[in-house]
Structure 1
């Protein structure tokens, strides 16, 4: 299951003006899940509801500021792994308005976290 391009305003960064003014963060998540049951039942209760996931991630992005994208990505991965059906989560946090005084295409951090009790 993939959710990409979730854009939420947050106040993360190491500079005072980033914390004061905020900026948009763009998040992509890829979840390793078993889709067999959902495919067989055709019931949303048997899979990850991507709307609910997006809302939960948005709360973290718009919530308590952190200095580093790595920290934000780890918190977002924790949200993904809170559902026991998620075996692993890959989270990319993009910071398109990063305070770099040069032209650039993207600044991003990607992490992958496995459920501790999963032997994958």
Structure 2
């Protein structure tokens, strides 16, 4: 299936289960893959036949900056609902949210979750 990707949306926000995360905040990196049929857009050069990725970026950033939540799993679910609500053309999506510096003692690059969601018929 065709897809549109928006990679590496870096947003400072205050999500997390620990008090320090909600007080100090941290960066969240969001990657989105939106699956849709791009046949019409590729043939007609019509922006209305696709997802405006600049607008989608702004929606994702607004969700990440919104009211704090405990879990990045829940945050990713909010992102998927927002994009499905706005764009009927999206059939499926993958949302990955990465915490580059979570408060975990140890040696690692980051932690992340990925949700795969399909449009309910």
What's the TM-score bracket when you normalise by the shorter of the two chains? over 0.9
2:71 — aligned with what?
68
Structure 2: tracts of 5 or more residues without a match: none
Q: How many residues matched?
A: 117
C-alpha RMSD over aligned residues: 0.8
2:119 is the alignment partner of 1:115? yes
- 1:97, CA displacement in angstroms? 1.1
Structure 1 residue 40: deviation in Å? Answer: 1.2
Which residue, 77, 91, 112 being the options, matches 1:87? 91
> d(CA) in 2 for partners of 1:93 and 1:29?
9
Show structure 1 runs of 4+ deviating over 6 A: none
Q: State the SS of the aligned residue for 2:91.
A: strand
| C-alpha contact (below 8 Å) 1:87/1:114 kept by paired residues | yes
CA contact (8 A) 1:80 1:89 kept: no
Alignment map for 1:41-56 (pairs within 5 Å): 41-56=44-59
If the length of structure 2 is used for normalisation, what is the TM-score? 0.93
Aligned to 1:24: 27
Deviations 1:61-112 (A, max 9, x none): 0111000011011111112212110000110000001111112112000001
TM-score, normalised on structure 1?
0.94
Gaps of 5+ in 1: none
| Corresponding residue for residue 104 of structure 2 | 100
Q: Corresponding residue for 1:37?
A: 40
